Structure 1
Amino acid sequence: MICCTTVGPISRSAWLLGTWSGGTPGRQLVEIWEKQNDSTFTGRGLMVKGVDTALLEAISLEERNGQLYYVPTVTGQNKGQAVRFTLTSITGSQLAFENPSHDFPQKVTYTLVTPDSLLAEISGTVNGTLKSRKFPMKRVK
């Protein structure tokens, strides 16, 4: 008898692993995603300007009890504390996480456009106005 196991959301997110870069010449946004174990991926968001590199955020993607969480710690925000976003939608090419009580963003989405390009988007409401920022990136490795 062959036993089947359900593929968890972290496994379905493996396309995110690797190094991604986007931006303009002289000002590159880089995200580096690595697998730590079967339930955790870690990411770093960096801003590269010329020869200077600054850490923008440290991120973890954590599967706990079958639920997936996107947990960024953003430099200079939220008093240095991590904020948890809960997976609200997953397909073979898109991950959407939400935290309605966060100031901005309330939603973080990653969409795999092609095997070597993705679109990261943050969105939410600020003072009653819907805002969003899109970050197209290409796979570097």
Structure 2
Amino acid sequence: MKSIIIISVAILFVSCQNKGEKKFDKLEKMNWLVGQWENKAPEGLLTETWTKENDSTFSGQTYFIKNEKDTVHSESIVLTQLKEELIYRPTVKGQNNDEPIDFKLTSAVENSFVFENSKHDYPQKITYKKINDKALVATISGSQQGKQSSESYPMKKK
């Protein structure tokens, strides 16, 4: 009887410990990204929509529409936590044989998340910075044709 109680307490202790662990804690810090974001500019409309697929994965769709009807750019994105790594995986139609490119999280400091892939042609760095609950700035940067380049896209949540 005494051994049954000891085993029960041990099982209870272990199960309580596991519940307290955050398995996808890096991805959870980006929950604020879920929703629809847009940037209206004279050149056109940039929209980015994020949905939570499950505990380990968000999916995103980005479109740049010119003259309210011509889609100039589109990409699908998977943001996923694989073990301890957070991976930003865009697939751009018409680039890289329509295959995804992985960017690994290299920095996560106060609502700023930096993903990098030094082997990619351009960009090598993608940054998402949360300004507040309704605003973010997405920035792509790196070396392009031998020169440093950077483009920022301030977006508002719809």
Structure 1's 39 and 137: CA in aligned 2 closer, same or farther, altered over 3 A? same
1:14 paired with 2:31, answer yes
Deviation of residue 37 (structure 1)?
0.3
- From 76, 83, 86, the equivalent of 1:68 is 86
CA distance in 1 between counterparts of 2:49 and 2:74 reads 12
Runs of 4 or more consecutive aligned structure 1 residues displaced over 4 Å after TM superposition: none
Return the index of the structure with the highest Cα Rg: 2
Q: Between Structure 1 and Structure 2, how many residues are aligned?
A: 140
CA distance in 1 between counterparts of 2:67 and 2:145 reads 35
SS at match of 1:9: helix
CA distance in 2 between counterparts of 1:92 and 1:70 reads 18
CA distance in 2 between counterparts of 1:22 and 1:51 reads 13
What aligned pairs does 1:38-49 form with structure 2 within 5 A after superposition? 38-49=55-66
> After alignment, is 19-28 or 95-104 more displaced?
19-28
Gaps of 5+ in 1: none
Task: Provide, for residues 71-124 of structure 1, a one-character-per-residue CA deviation record: whole Å limited to 9, x for no partner.
Answer: 000122111111000000113411110000000000000000111000000000
Q: Structure 1 length as normaliser, TM-score?
A: 0.91
- Percent identity at matched positions? 36
The structure with more helix, counted as a fraction of residues: 2
The CA RMSD over aligned residues, in Å, is 1.7
Q: Which has the higher contact order (CA 8 A, sep 6+)?
A: 1
Partner of 1:124 in structure 2? 142
Preserved contact between residue 45 and residue 68 of structure 2 (Cα < 8 Å): no
Partner of 1:52 in structure 2? 69
Partner of 2:7 in structure 1? none
CA distance in 1 between counterparts of 2:63 and 2:40 reads 11
SS at match of 1:10: helix
Gaps of 5+ in 2: 1-12
